[in-house]
Amino acid sequence: MKLYGELADWWPTFSTPQEYRKEAAFFARALTRSGDPPPRRVLELGSGGGNNAFHLKKKFAMTLVDLSPHMLAVSQALNPECEHQEGDIRTIRLGRTFDAVFVYDAICHMTNEADLRAVMRTAFEHLRPRGVALFVPDFVRETFVENTDHGGNDTTRGSVRFLQWTTDPDSRDTTYVVDFAILIRDAESQTRLVHDRHTYGLFPRATWRRLLREAGFELRSVQLPDGFGRDLFAGRRRR
């Protein structure tokens, strides 16, 4: 995906930490509420440019994992106090455990049950006994709606404007498609247009719950008064 590779330098213009402030506050409450005792050391799988971590690090000691060295470099600049590790969240093993594991939008990149189960297993392996993993997919099959969105920002590096077109060409499979049309204007006023297609995973709630149980988790429900409008899947490692 170009967004996490050749365009990664533009991530802070594509998407700023300020845009993540509200949802990160919600995730911090969800993590705190689901932990017993509340977590201190948190592993984020698929942390990208570190926009969420920018907020979460105020409450937790964050270790950040991503596949893209370019996105890790962006996050490292934003979050120099956090530990960064390059790796595939389906297979990485750091050889130590955390109080909680958090997986946000990177989980959308898991397009089949085997990959989704593999990330759940990674989370499980990195949790101390009674530690909790929190997964937050953009959609589950029951909540999916085709939609069009847009965004972008102006920074000292230049400007980005993008259109995000979310569709489901085949409602019988476990994927949907997000096409990004990204306009980039650099500091010299040169503008270019890039198309980037992402294929994301889409699973019914029942599949999420079954895979979490198969990965060894005890299902937890996280009740918060201010719903963020997403399904949260929380699982606790018994021992």
Ligand X SMILES: C[S@@+](CC[C@H](N)C(=O)[O-])C[C@H]1O[C@@H](n2cnc3c(N)ncnc32)[C@H](O)[C@@H]1O
Residues in touch with ligand X (CB under 6 A): 4, 20, 46-52, 66-68, 71, 88-90, 104-106, 109
Half-sphere exposure of 174 (CA within 13 A, CB side): 15
Q: How far is the CB of 21 from ligand X (least distance, A)?
A: 11
Whichever of 13 and 47 has its CB closer to ligand X, that residue is 47
Whether the CB-CB separation of 207 and 144 falls below 8 Å is answered with no
Q: How far is the CB of 182 from ligand X (least distance, A)?
A: 13
Q: How far is the CB of 107 from ligand X (least distance, A)?
A: 9
Whichever of 84 and 236 has its CB closer to ligand X, that residue is 84
Beta partners for residue 183, in sequence order:
161, 193
Nearest residue to 55 via CA among 109, 110, 16: 16
Whichever of 104 and 236 has its CB closer to ligand X, that residue is 104
Whichever of 130 and 163 has its CB closer to ligand X, that residue is 163
Q: How far is the CB of 73 from ligand X (least distance, A)?
A: 11
Whether the CB-CB separation of 107 and 123 falls below 8 Å is answered with no
Whichever of 55 and 220 has its CB closer to ligand X, that residue is 55
Q: How far is the CB of 190 from ligand X (least distance, A)?
A: 26
Whichever of 52 and 236 has its CB closer to ligand X, that residue is 52
Q: Which long-range contacts (CB under 8 A, 24 or more apart) does 228-232 make?
A: 228/23, 228/26, 228/136, 230/136, 230/137, 230/138, 230/143, 231/136, 231/137, 231/140, 231/143, 231/205, 232/30, 232/134, 232/135, 232/136
Peptide bond into 169 cis (omega under 30): no
Q: How far is the CB of 71 from ligand X (least distance, A)?
A: 4
CA–CA dist 41, 9 (Å, integer): 28
Whichever of 73 and 183 has its CB closer to ligand X, that residue is 73
Q: How far is the CB of 141 from ligand X (least distance, A)?
A: 20
Please give the residue whose beta carbon sits closest to ligand X in the complex. 48
Exposure class string for 42-59: b at 16+ Cβ within 10 A, else e: bbbbbbbbbbbbbbbbeb
Structure tokens, 129: 């006994």
